Structure 1
């Protein structure tokens, strides 16, 4: 099924003259815009953009389709404006968001700034909490929405969710560790199974095998130290207390540590982060507005590579 955001990204690429410019115009990352256009091309079974030219040029199919895309978007805008007279969402109120340290530091400040600019009548309340506690808090009505990684998976009968971003798993080692000498090369994941590692509370052994990476490898690393905050993990690695396993966002937002970061040579060495909500009660208009805002701006600024 074709999505409006694919059409918006495609038209922005045409109007702005490139993927990078379109991303800046829409407030999205360049890879996100490129992914939207690729998804659109896949849905149509056509190549719309000649990516070899600078600025980008449309193919004959793209020249024809962009006119239809503009008409579709214009019709949607006109329809929303027309029905808006009858049903305007109530965006005045409080939205309580459950979160965890890395998202609090690397993503939500950006979301809060956008909220203040676009929806000053919405008050946001943040509360950090462990994954399992957030699920219970959402079902009890304490949270409206919450950010959480995909593993272990939530029940689709009890929770709604939308994907926000993907981030790579990273192995963090002291500078004098043998693995630090080839930092530009990806690490063989089989080596991790023979290594004791420092992990945060989110990498609990009992749930690790639910993740595709460890399921493919048929095992998971032994935990040497388990900490609650990524800053603690990085500090312990810097002090020579062991090897750490974390993800991109915590490393991107943490203060600089004297450590070496290695990526893992496996396609499944990523985690997905979703915005979630309990299906036990309808989302308020304010919470819906926040979900839509996050979906329109899903990438934490420290992880943008454009």
Structure 2
């Protein structure tokens, strides 16, 4: 017998007869005529090749086979109810269920700790799975369905994606405390091109943005694989680098080896965005997620289009890190 020959309604009839112990009461409970119910139960027995009930004028009893079938029928009907509940929840608005959220490596470790608590409160039915990677790998995962949404830095190839800009993140200059850039007027990004400029390895979007901001050649400077390594190199006096504002430690460096300096209002920055597949049926919910990130952007970032000086919480000049 093919599974397509079974119907949930027939299983409901069998369970009703088993629980009522009477075909007439079972038919009344299922809102059908008794002959209709009796015929459908008999057809199911024939299809299964089993006798489910002992029938007499006074009572209806389950056979051993009938007991096993009713037990399984109850389980099937319970799963069907869960499926209906899931469908109702999915159409009720808001993000629910599992969502894989990827972020570029120079953002995720610094942004996630600041927003995850609020994210869980705003989307209580969302089961988040977080990942980090380089932009190209994240976009591949997004388009192939291995990720559902991505926090990335613009610009990106947007074909097949919905991209919502969230906030601007300024860059800060991190340099050794004894370096000439550590004091004096606010630095200018165009003055940073040179052999002491420390960069991330090729393939990292932050490297490309730093090279563009400083007007440096693509092969200039020394390289590292992570922001943490760059910061260690700066502390060791190996050179200076650009740090995204969220990656700059909020407190002073106890050793006093490194300082971070802000650029002027027109200083370099990057735009952070949330991207997802344009074909994803949860588009409205993902747009709500983008709205959450806009509303809860950390104070080190800037609303889109707002001058940097209106959001700075510390005096301009030097900040020990």
Q: Fold match, TM over 0.5?
A: yes
TM-score (norm 2): 0.57
On the 8 A contact 1:196/1:221 being kept in 2, the answer is no
Runs in 1 of length 4+ with deviation above 4 angstroms? 207-211, 219-222, 301-306
Query: Is residue 107 of structure 1 aligned with residue 111 of structure 2?
Result: yes
On the 8 A contact 1:199/1:233 being kept in 2, the answer is yes
On the 8 A contact 2:245/2:300 being kept in 1, the answer is no
On the 8 A contact 2:175/2:181 being kept in 1, the answer is yes
State how far apart, in whole Å, the 2-side matches of 1:90 and 1:190 are: 45
Identify the match of residue 235 of structure 1 among 232, 235, 238. Answer: 232
Identify the match of residue 224 of structure 1 among 221, 225, 228. Answer: 221
User: Whose relative contact order is higher, 1 or 2, with alpha carbons under 8 Å and at least 6 apart?
Assistant: 1
- In structure 1, the residue matched to 2:143 is 139
Distance 1:220-1:255 versus aligned 2 partners, 3 A rule: farther
- Superimposed CA distance per residue, residues 168-196 of structure 1 (whole angstroms, 9 cap, x where no aligned partner): 222211111122132xx221333223443
In structure 2, the gaps of 5 or more residues are: 1-90, 302-310, 314-321
| RMSD, aligned CA | 3.3
Q: Give the length in aligned residue pairs.
A: 213
State how far apart, in whole Å, the 2-side matches of 1:209 and 1:176 are: 22
State how far apart, in whole Å, the 2-side matches of 1:254 and 1:203 are: 27
State how far apart, in whole Å, the 2-side matches of 1:220 and 1:136 are: 28
- Superimposed CA distance per residue, residues 87-143 of structure 1 (whole angstroms, 9 cap, x where no aligned partner): 522633011111134432332233321232232211100001111100101000011
1:126-205 paired onto structure 2 within 5 Å: 126-150=130-154, 153-182=155-184, 185-201=185-201, 202=204
TM-score (norm 1): 0.59
In structure 1, the gaps of 5 or more residues are: 1-86
Distance 1:174-1:203 versus aligned 2 partners, 3 A rule: farther
- Which protein has the larger Cα radius of gyration, Structure 1 or Structure 2? 2
